[in-house]
């Protein structure tokens, strides 16, 4: 069977892959480009859990995480417009270049329908909140956020696909199996069904869902791999009024605390004012997350509290460690566990009756009342309890007995690789971008990383390399 030839192959149709394609087609429309995506096209991304009352069917490719738009298609669409949030891209391109790239990526999102409002711009109110946080041993990171909303985010990504249709060839429901390399240079990609596609340039942008595959391929190709942390914690749900003085100023308050007992870093993550708690199925484990929508609201705000851990020798499997803790929660709770903070403080499991007596109505209805102390390691649990006490000093009501904790939330940060300033791997012509390559941890830096790879490829095409 003869292999079909392209100029560029992009593995993955998440933000990094999409922005690579957008940049290439805008600046060099004559290029023949192929996008390979193991999930479905965006109009076919339907999760059974969202359409009918069923348990997870363990679809071969999860519609919530795979497909056009990547995991971002079902995220709440927060664009963190600060280089200090959302990834490691500055390590490769520098601060000034990243600021410019974030601005360009943001303008593209607006072009395709993202709302014009930005939350958390520096002003006197934000500085007052930062001063209050500092007086209570917390750091409030200034991070302007453009909130698209889960519903509008889906529309924005649909418009991007429609724009690229006819300009880029797209292969859905067919993942990449291996990267073809010869004499230290990329030759193309072989797909899971045995087809071969040839190209001088390949951009690996498989997203977090494809990070394990990318790590395995990197090991097979002998690429230098770096150690990553893992973040483990809970999702907190409480009345929206408790956090209103923070979220009304900065939509997503990013608060960092260094614990007294263990000197560990604990941080808030993915704050969703008036949002909903949701489940995510990552291969064989359930974890918890949160969304907020542009078109509907709840009475609650939810956010994650995450403890960051970086392992050293001899252990070097942070992803497996996080998965093990998530599996333990699934084993005890048949999925996600929910517990009232007061029950946790008193050393007892929550029951449905105790949840019903509480003042916070859970937005995730199929979580199992239980006891998170049987799941989380003591160090993580102590860190989280201390962080809740610190937060209560700047937002009274956070440490209430009625506050709900869902567990576990785990952020698996993809393995990082040795990359050049243009995100090229140690294999010539092979680039790595986005969350799956450990370059980014969110929509905006993933999108910006696609611009970096695309521009390097375009420069070589023009120069005849």
Co-location of 308 and 386 in the same domain: yes
| 372 close to 234: Cβ distance less than 8 angstroms | yes
Residue 131, domain member (yes or no): no
In a domain, 137, yes or no: no
Boundary (domain end) residue, out of 412, 434, 452: 412
∠97-111-42 over CA atoms, to 5°?
Answer: 100
CATH of the domain at 205: 3.50.50.60
Does residue 170 belong to any structural domain of this protein?
A: yes
- Domain-embedded: residue 125: no
For residues 382 and 272, state if they share a domain: yes
Is 380 within a domain?
yes
* Same-domain status, 12 and 151: yes
Token couple for 164: 């690229």
CA 71 to chain centre: 7
pLDDT of 53 over the 80 cut: no
pLDDT at 212 (0 to 100): 84
Supply 36's token pair: 């390979």
User: pLDDT class for 463, splitting at 50, 70, 90?
Assistant: low
**Is position 138 within any domain?**
no
Question: Are residue 301 and residue 355 in the same domain, yes or no?
Answer: yes
Query: Are 434 and 312 found together in one domain?
Result: no
Assess whether 153 and 87 both reside in one domain: yes
| Residues near 459 by beta carbon (within 8 Å), at least 6 away in sequence | none
User: Which residue among 412, 432, 453 closes a domain?
Assistant: 412
pLDDT at 464: 66
Residue 378: inside a domain: yes
Q: What total of structural domains would you count in the chain?
A: 2
Tell me which residue range forms the domain holding 357.
Answer: 229-412
Handedness of CA 225, 176, 85, 243 (dihedral sign): negative
Neighbours of 270 (CB within 10 A): 22
Of 353 and 75, the one with more pLDDT: 353
Q: Among residues 369, 386, 412, which one ends one of the domains? A: 412
| Higher pLDDT among residues 462 and 265, named by residue | 265
Give yes or no for residue 54 having a pLDDT over 60: no
pLDDT of residue 78: 87
Q: Based on the fold, state whether residues 43 and 17 are members of the same structural domain.
A: yes
Average pLDDT score over residue span 52-70: 69
Q: Is residue 193 part of a domain?
A: yes
The verdict on 270 and 282 lying in the same domain is yes
- Position 63 scores a pLDDT of 66
Question: For the segment 211-243, what is each residue's pLDDT rounded down to a tens digit?
Answer: 889 989 999 999 998 877 789 999 999 999 999
Residues 396 and 359 occupy one common structural domain: yes
How does pLDDT run across 329-382, given as a tens digit for each residue? 999 998 999 999 999 999 999 999 999 999 999 999 999 999 999 999 999 999
- Output phi, psi for 337, to 5 deg: -100, 140
For position 56, what pLDDT does the model report? 58
Residues 31 and 77 in one domain: yes
| Ramachandran sector of residue 311 (left: φ over 0; alpha: ψ -120 to 50; beta: rest) | beta
Answer yes or no: do 251 and 290 share one domain. Answer: yes
Instruction: Say if residue 328 is in the same domain as residue 445.
Output: no
Distance CA 372, CA 49 (A): 25
- What does the CA dihedral 373, 376, 378, 384 come to, rounded to 10 degrees? -90
């Amino acid at each position: 069977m003869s292999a079909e030839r392209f100029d560029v192959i992009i593995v993955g149709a998440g933000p990094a892959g999409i922005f690579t394609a957008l940049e290439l087609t805008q600046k060099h429309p004559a290029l023949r480009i192929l996008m390979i995506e193991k999930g479905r096209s965006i109009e076919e991304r339907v999760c059974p859990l969202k359409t009918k009352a069923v348990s997870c069917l363990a679809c071969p490719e999860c519609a919530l995480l795979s497909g056009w738009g990547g995991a971002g298609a079902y995220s709440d669409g927060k664009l963190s417009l600060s280089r200090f949030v959302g990834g490691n891209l500055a390590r490769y391109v520098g601060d000034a270049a990243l600021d410019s790239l974030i601005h360009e990526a943001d303008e593209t999102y607006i072009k395709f329908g993202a709302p014009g409002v930005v939350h958390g711009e520096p002003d006197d109110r934000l500085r007052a909140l930062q001063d209050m946080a500092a007086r209570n041993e917390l750091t409030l990171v200034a991070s302007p956020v453009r909130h698209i909303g889960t519903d509008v985010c889906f529309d924005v990504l649909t418009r991007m696909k429609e724009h690229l249709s006819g300009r880029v060839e797209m292969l859905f429901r067919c993942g990449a199996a291996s990267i073809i390399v010869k004499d230290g240079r990329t030759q193309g990609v072989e797909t899971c069904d045995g087809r071969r596609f040839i190209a001088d340039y390949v951009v690996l942008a498989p997203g977090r869902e494809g990070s394990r595959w990318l790590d395995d391929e990197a090991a097979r190709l002998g690429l230098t791999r770096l150690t990553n942390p893992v973040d483990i914690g809970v999702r907190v749900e409480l009345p929206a009024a408790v956090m209103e003085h923070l979220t009304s100023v900065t939509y997503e308050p990013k608060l960092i605390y260094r614990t007294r007992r263990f000197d560990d870093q604990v941080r808030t993550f993915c704050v969703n004012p008036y949002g909903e708690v949701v489940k995510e199925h990552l291969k064989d484990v359930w974890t918890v997350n949160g969304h907020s929508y542009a078109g509907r609201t709840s009475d609650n705000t939810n956010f994650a509290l995450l403890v960051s851990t970086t392992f050293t020798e001899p252990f070097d499997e942070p992803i497996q460690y996080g998965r093990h803790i998530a599996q333990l929660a699934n084993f005890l709770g048949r999925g996600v566990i929910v517990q009232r903070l007061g029950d946790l403080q008193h050393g007892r499991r929550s029951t449905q009756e105790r949840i019903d007596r509480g003042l916070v109505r859970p937005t995730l209805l199929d979580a199992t009342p239980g006891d998170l102390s049987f799941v989380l390691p003591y160090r993580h649990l102590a860190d989280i309890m201390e962080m809740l006490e610190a937060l209560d000093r700047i937002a009274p009501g956070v440490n209430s007995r009625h506050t709900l904790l869902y567990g576990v939330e785990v952020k698996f940060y993809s393995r990082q690789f040795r990359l050049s300033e243009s995100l090229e791997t140690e294999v010539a012509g092979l680039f790595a971008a986005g969350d799956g390559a450990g370059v980014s941890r969110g929509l905006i830096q993933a999108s910006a990383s696609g611009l970096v790879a695309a521009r390097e490829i375009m420069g070589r095409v023009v120069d005849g390399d």
